[in-house]
Amino acid sequence: MTVDVIVEDARWDPAGLEALAATACAATMAHLGYGTDWEVGLLACDDARIAVLNGEFRAKGQPTNVLSWPAEDRAAAAPGQSPAKAQPDVPAEPLELGDIAIAFDTCQREAAEQGKEFATHVTHLLVHATLHLLGYDHIDDKDAALMEGLEVEILGNLGISDPYEA
């Protein structure tokens, strides 16, 4: 599993984002039985940059914590179902899973508001975004239950408690 990180906001540097991303993405892929022949692009930015991206791609011109762009549509056929698993036959090089953008300001604010460690919150968001790249979503209640359940399992394997518990 390769995570190519581009840091646009230097406040990410002391957070160890590259290590957090490598751990979160690899744990997600391993939990779902994927091999290691995958690549993710990660943009570490601020709220201003993610607001522009959110406006361009989702018509929501405000900051958000994380965005993801899958390299291909892997969505499930019906709500509550797992997406079809894509695996390379014999890859010559890592296959692109997709891209993620994560905003420092929003992540920092949310972690403080929720009383969570910054690294723990960021890890959760990276697991969440990786699941999006794999075709999982949370628009429908059944899809949300499936995706959140996977997040809890993956984070639990990393020693991180349920992020949805009050």
CA 68 – CA 73 distance, rounded (Å): 12
DSSP letter at 83 equals P
Which pLDDT score, from 0 to 100, does residue 57 have? 96
CA 115 – CA 95 distance, rounded (Å): 37
pLDDT tens digits for range 123-163:
999 999 999 999 999 999 999 999 999 999 999 999 999 99
Per-residue pLDDT band at 92 (split at 50, 70, 90): low
CA 59 – CA 46 distance, rounded (Å): 18
CA 56 – CA 20 distance, rounded (Å): 27
